[in-house]
Amino acid sequence: MKRSQINAIIREATAAFERHGWFLPPNPRWDVTDFGLGDFEKTGLVCVNLAEQPEYCEKIMYVKKNQVTPTHYHASKKEDIICRWGKLAIKLEGDGDTIRLQVNGVETDIPTDKPLILTSGERITINRGVRHAFWAESDYAIVGEVSTANDDLHDNFFDDPNVGRFSDIEEDEPPIVKLVSD
């Protein structure tokens, strides 16, 4: 990705957060990725790390319409994904026709053949080892994540072997923020 593209995406995400009353703390840690696939609009994600502690972490994410975070799972991390604004589609994969997870705090059998759509305020708890992908169904979605400690380098296992967690960056202008990957 070009640094100019990353800077523009950060400005766009910041404007969306502010428009909906999500103000970032001082010195947040930004993560902008195309997952090494070279097409951010199709496969990409903006994450802002709000809290990073040994026991837990919190993120806010900006997801554009039909922009997929590829199918992956975590061996260690358990996470709540919360739709803070818009509509978020989450595709879960498992061995059966359904997978049992908490949706809005209630154990629910979720079909694996179609995405679960979360609207503003709704959440899903994704247990360790559950394969999932997600994207915005609305023009964009603002998404929260609260999870056990996060290890981006060693606890993201993607189905597609071509996926890389961080993007290579072409420095065509100065960065407006330092990224997690910098």
CA gap 93, 99 in Å, rounded? 8
Q: With cut-offs at 50, 70 and 90, classify the pLDDT of residue 111.
A: very high
Question: Residue 169 domain-assigned?
Answer: no
CA gap 57, 74 in Å, rounded? 14
State mean pLDDT over 103-131.
97
Judge whether residue 139 has pLDDT over 80.
yes
Question: Residue 22 domain-assigned?
Answer: yes
State mean pLDDT over 84-99.
96
Judge whether residue 60 has pLDDT over 80.
yes
Q: With cut-offs at 50, 70 and 90, classify the pLDDT of residue 84.
A: very high
State mean pLDDT over 50-64.
94
Convert the pLDDT of each residue in 140-181 to its tens digit.
999 999 999 878 788 999 999 999 878 889 999 999 999 998
Judge whether residue 8 has pLDDT over 90.
yes
Question: Residue 107 domain-assigned?
Answer: yes
Question: Residue 93 domain-assigned?
Answer: yes
**pTM, entire model:** 0.95
Return the pLDDT at 134.
Answer: 98
Question: Residue 25 domain-assigned?
Answer: yes
How many independent structural domains does the chain possess? 1
CA gap 128, 88 in Å, rounded? 20
State mean pLDDT over 11-26.
95
Q: Name the more confident of 181 and 11.
A: 11
| Residue 131, domain extent | 3-158
Question: Residue 47 domain-assigned?
Answer: yes
Question: Residue 172 domain-assigned?
Answer: no
Q: Name the more confident of 28 and 7.
A: 7
Question: Residue 17 domain-assigned?
Answer: yes
Work out the burial of residue 105: count CB atoms within 10 Å of its CB; fewer than 13 is exposed, 13-18 middle, 19 or more buried: exposed
CATH number for position 28: 2.60.120.10
State what percent of residues in the chain have pLDDT above 90.
Answer: 88
